Structure 1
Amino acid sequence: MSRGSEDLEAKGIDQDEAEAVAVPERSGGLTTGGGAERISLGYLHTVHPESGNDVVFVPGEALPDWAVAVQNEQLAARLRPRAAADDDASSGRRAIKHSASRGSK
């Protein structure tokens, strides 16, 4: 018997029903079974691949496989421009900074 079912029994629910509806306790808490990469990092707006309906996942919501792929694609797209900017810097291009103390030596 878990502490949750004991709490339900104390509120007047019979033992069998309390054990049936109580959430089992685990040392790590509730998980989605897939790890952090299966959790929505923000509001994920996408289209369901089978139904064609618009779907929005909220931050912290567990994602199905197809939505994980969409989220990973969006993250990769956000990182691509940064990678291109890094390539410009490595090819000898760099930003020109204005310096106020440049005139006298």
Structure 2
Amino acid sequence: MKFKQLSLFVISAGIALSLTSFSMSQASAATSDSAASDSTMSKQELKAQKKADRKARRATKNAELNKLEKNGYNPAGNQSNYPQNLQNAQQKAAGQKPTNAPAVAP
């Protein structure tokens, strides 16, 4: 009686183990497929792509900062009214009339 129970347990454990290893092998295959698509780009191409992305982000940031500076925001100036003076410049840049409400501490 105990031999039958033990053999059923061993068989069910073996099936569970094989199903687990099968799902892991599928996950590993999916990972290797994505790695293969990444490896189609050479290191130099990947480096050039990252450099282009950095330059684009920097250009966007600089353009936004220049737009705010043209509308009255001075990051190096007096920051006693920091959130309000930035918000005023953002509203002015968006074509809205700036509100001169006092800054509220968070």
TM over 0.5: no
State the TM-score, normalized to the length of structure 2.
Answer: 0.31
- Select the structure of larger CA radius of gyration: 2
State the TM-score, normalized to the length of structure 1.
Answer: 0.31
Higher strand share goes to which structure?
1
Higher helix share goes to which structure?
2
